[in-house]
Amino acid sequence: MGAFEVTTLPYVCSVTLVGTPPANGTSIDFLVTFSEPVQPVDITDFTLTPTGRILTPPAITGVAGGGYAWTVSVNTGRMEGTIAVNVADANRTIRDDESNALAALGSSSPANVDTIPPQLLSISPVNPGAWQTPSGPTNDPAVTFSVVFNESIGVFDPAAITVTGGGNGAVLTPVDSGDHKTWNVPVTGITGDDDLTITVNTGSSVLDLAGNSLAVSGTSSPVVHIDNTPPTPVLSGSTAPARTTRTLTIDFGEVVDTFALGKITVTNGVASNLILQVPHPRILSISGVPTRERCRSRSRPES
């Protein structure tokens, strides 16, 4: 009975991610293990299967090793999703020492990748109910801003925020609304008369869950008009003698929200017919005012 030889064909044993790289790493490696020594092995023998949101596709940048084990290096590009490495050997060039081609190929498990920085969607003041509009005017010493990102944020430090206007306004710790995307930023200690805004700056004080830092800064809109100066009424009108009715103009120099006849005291006369000139001043007619009458505000109008 004659002797015979058994030929064992090479095959891929495994394709595994090397180590535990961070999800936002720019490069990851996969170890490809064969059942026996093979060669040649190069970039063209592998393909990638990326999934998810891809801005810049990943790419194989190199293959190193020899014999049983080869390492495939991958540039992760700009994407949020997964990457898998496949041994394709499309040209059937991977051979063992006896020139046998691969009998079985293989692929890695998907590796999680997130290299896309978070983005700001909006920064806006939150109307607490005491203002006419979210942009004010207000003399409230504290204003809260809503900051919305396009993805969940893991780190949002007050150091990322710059306050413009508002005197000595200081930023407190941002508060997560619960979805990790919308955060409330309180600003306290607001003083003076100015336009208040906040800017969320780029850098490591704002990080998504994968550790990517904010790449583009943003400033709140609309501005919040801070007004801590009370209005000062200026009275003007004819000083000619009048025994019936005289019209006087009260100019507050700014829009006032609350003012009524009850705020006016007339000596030797009666105030009536208060008319608002939008947006200001307000005009009132005073009946029965003699030549030497006096007209004054009894109290400062409420703002």
Please give the span between the terminal C-alpha atoms of the chain, in angstroms, as a whole number. 113
* Fold that domain 12-114 belongs to in CATH: Immunoglobulin-like (2.60.40)
Domain spans, the chain: 12-114, 120-226, 234-297
Residues 59, 34 contacting (CB under 8 angstroms) = no
pLDDT for 128: 66
DSSP letter at 168? E
pLDDT for 283: 47
Residue 52 tokens read as: 């998810």
Residues 101, 94 contacting (CB under 8 angstroms) = yes
* 12-114 and 120-226: identical CATH topology: yes
pLDDT for 48: 98
Residues 226, 251 contacting (CB under 8 angstroms) = no
Regions in the chain scoring below 70 on pLDDT: 1-6, 128-132, 238-246, 248, 252-259, 261, 266-303
pLDDT for 244: 61
Query: What is the rounded distance in angstroms from the CA atom of residue 186 to the CA atom of residue 152?
Result: 20
| Closest to 84 measured CA to CA, from 28, 26, 21 | 28
Residue 62 tokens read as: 């190199």
Residue 109, Cα to own-chain centre: how many angstroms? Answer: 33
Length of the chain measured in residues = 303
Query: What is the rounded distance in angstroms from the CA atom of residue 56 to the CA atom of residue 42?
Result: 23
Burial label, 155 (beta-carbon count in 10 A; 0-12, 13-18, 19+): middle
Supply φ then ψ for residue 45, to 5 degrees.
-90, 0
pLDDT for 285: 47
Q: What is the DSSP string of 2-19?
A: ----PPPPP-EEEEEE-S
CA atoms within 13 A of residue 274's CA, in its CB half-sphere: 14
pLDDT for 4: 60
* pLDDT tens per residue across span 56-69: 999 999 999 999 99
| Closest to 31 measured CA to CA, from 21, 23, 58 | 21
pLDDT for 186: 96
pLDDT for 246: 66
* Residue with tokens 């208060």, as numbered in its chain: 274
CATH of domain 120-226: 2.60.40.1220
* pLDDT tens per residue across span 147-160: 999 999 999 999 99
